[in-house]
């Protein structure tokens, strides 16, 4: 007679009535943020969208792993709910005070440095150069499996910043029921330029991406000829400041400037250079992982972004509540350092608000006065207003 089996909490079958030894926990290593933060490598399959990228990195606090119970199996998580954070372009997770706000609100915090990006982009030939954001579906799915199945969280919220915001809404639209809510921090839902450049410029980018996907096109002047006569100059249409030209940076434009050399004037990257401590700002992130000037943007990457932004415009039909937060003001070329500390110098907040209505039926838009592009990097008390808005909305919508 065949033996019957009963599944354990992780789905591994064992003979009925028999005790089985729990499987060893996957290896985590101390993270660059220091204790209690740890990092877990998520292997991924090779893809033409990011050739050679073979892993992502999931970051969380050591205590997020449930302690084993008397039977040796994982116990209950310290928080029933969890949030999965998706970073922007030219970025990685370092904003531990964002995690603190979620912890205080009853959410375990996880951050995913996607393949070829952040921690997972160290040594990669062109960090953040991913030709189709859907290649990240593999690591997002595995992160959610870990959070729900291994760590036992029943409720998961996606929190995405900028390109990570675009990533989050595409995921939520493609995978209904996979998360309970989506929260967005200045999501990159539209190209930051005139309507004519968005239309004809996208066609040019598509053409370039087919002929030469490695072509660096972060310089808005490359599309300047497509602006209507008399129009205001286009703002940067890539997330993060455009990489410096060789004349500005004193180096090949395909590389980033070493942190121990002169990076050029503040105008090269006013966003980072009003915020980072090296230039008198408040924050001290790792300039090898989030450099200034930023990692170059290539034609293949931008063409992939434009395809997804067009999908947003056609409507995503997200079936869970969505919160969109952004600043109340956009900052263009030539603004002062003080002005840059009170507005979004990377994206158009008007376009964020306009495109938000295509995300789903249940979308809340909140504009934060004085917010910068990454709202959690805004000066106090603006960032506290954003964090209270975020956690307060989750309390109202999810209880």
Tell me: pLDDT of 388 over 50: yes
The pLDDT of residue 66 is 94
Least confident window among 92-96, 183-187, 335-339: 335-339
pLDDT bracket for residue 258 (50, 70, 90): low
CA 179, chain centre distance (Å): 16
- Here the contacts of 257-260 (C-beta below 8 Å, separation 24 or greater) are 257/291, 257/292, 257/293, 259/287, 259/288, 259/291
Residues 6+ apart with CB under 8 A from 260: none
| 137-145 and 163-174 helices, crossing angle to 10° | 70
The CATH code of the domain at 29-192+314-398 is: 3.40.50.1820
Q: List, for residues 370-386, the tens digit of each pLDDT value.
A: 999 999 999 999 999 99
Residue 362: strand, helix, or coil: coil
The overall average pLDDT reported for the chain is 84
For a pLDDT cut of 90, what percent of the chain falls above it?
70
Least confident window among 24-38, 236-250, 303-317: 236-250
C-alpha to C-alpha distance for 364 and 118, rounded to whole angstroms: 30
- The candidate with the shortest Cα–Cα distance to 116, out of 104, 132, 128, 99, is 128
Residues 6+ apart with CB under 8 A from 112: 42, 56, 57, 58, 59, 84, 85, 86, 87, 93, 139, 140, 143
The answer to whether 131 touches 213, Cβ cutoff 8 Å, is: yes
267 vs 243, higher pLDDT: 267
β-bridge mates for residue 13, sequence order: 7
Sign of the C-alpha dihedral, residues 247, 248, 252, 253?
negative
Extended strands (E) in 164-270: 181-185
The pLDDT of residue 264 is 63
Q: For 212-220, what is the mean pLDDT?
A: 73
Least confident window among 38-52, 131-145, 210-224, 237-251: 237-251
C-alpha to C-alpha distance for 274 and 177, rounded to whole angstroms: 40
Which part of the chain is CATH 3.40.50.1820? 29-192+314-398
Least confident window among 30-34, 98-102, 113-117, 201-205: 201-205
Residues 6+ apart with CB under 8 A from 302: 205, 209, 217, 237, 238
Q: For 12-31, what is the mean pLDDT?
A: 56
CB environment 319-336: b (16+ within 10 A), e (fewer): ebbbbbbbbebbbeeebe
C-alpha to C-alpha distance for 397 and 399, rounded to whole angstroms: 6
Q: For 261-284, what is the mean pLDDT?
A: 85
Distance (Å) of CA 161 to CA 15, 37, 115, 323: 46, 21, 16, 12
C-alpha to C-alpha distance for 179 and 186, rounded to whole angstroms: 20
Q: List, for residues 278-324, the tens digit of each pLDDT value.
A: 999 999 999 999 999 999 999 999 999 999 999 999 999 999 999 99
């Amino acid at each position: 007679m065949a033996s019957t089996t009963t599944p354990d909490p992780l789905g591994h079958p064992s003979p009925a009535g028999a005790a089985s030894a729990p499987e060893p926990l996957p290896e985590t290593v101390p993270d660059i943020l220091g204790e209690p933060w740890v990092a877990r490598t998520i292997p991924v399959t090779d893809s033409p969208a990011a050739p050679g990228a073979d892993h992502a990195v999931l970051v969380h606090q050591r205590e997020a792993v449930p302690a084993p119970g008397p039977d040796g199996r994982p116990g209950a998580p310290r928080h029933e709910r969890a949030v999965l954070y998706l970073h922007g372009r030219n970025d990685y997770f370092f904003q531990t005070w964002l995690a603190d706000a979620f912890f205080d609100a009853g959410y375990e915090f996880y951050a995913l440095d996607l393949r070829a990006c952040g921690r997972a982009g160290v040594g990669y030939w062109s960090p953040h150069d991913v030709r189709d954001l859907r290649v990240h579906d593999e690591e997002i799915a595995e992160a959610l499996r870990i959070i729900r199945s291994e760590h036992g969280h029943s409720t998961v919220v996606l929190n995405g910043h900028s390109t990570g915001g675009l990533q989050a809404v595409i995921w939520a639209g493609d995978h209904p029921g996979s998360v309970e809510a989506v929260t967005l921090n200045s999501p990159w839902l539209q190209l930051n330029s005139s309507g004519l450049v968005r239309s004809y410029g996208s066609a040019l980018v598509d053409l370039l991406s087919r002929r030469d996907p490695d072509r660096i096109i972060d310089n808005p002047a490359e599309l300047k000829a497509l602006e209507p006569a008399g129009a205001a100059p286009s703002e940067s249409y890539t997330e993060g400041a455009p990489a410096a030209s060789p004349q500005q940076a004193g180096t090949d434009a395909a590389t980033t400037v070493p942190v121990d050399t002169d990076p050029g004037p503040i105008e090269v990257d006013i966003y980072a250079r009003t915020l980072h401590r090296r230039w008198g700002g408040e924050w001290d992130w790792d300039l090898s992982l989030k450099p200034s000037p930023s990692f170059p943007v290539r034609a293949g990457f931008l063409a992939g972004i434009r395809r997804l932004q067009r999908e947003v415009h056609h409507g995503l039909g997200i079936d869970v509540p969505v919160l969109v937060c952004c600043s109340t003001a956009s900052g263009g070329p030539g603004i002062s350092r003080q002005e840059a500390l009170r507005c979004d110098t990377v994206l158009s907040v008007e376009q964020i608000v306009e495109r938000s209505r295509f995300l789903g039926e249940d979308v809340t838009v909140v504009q934060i006065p004085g917010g910068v592009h990454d709202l959690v990097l805004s000066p106090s008390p603006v960032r506290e207003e954003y964090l209270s808005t975020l956690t307060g909305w989750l309390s109202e919508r999810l209880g």
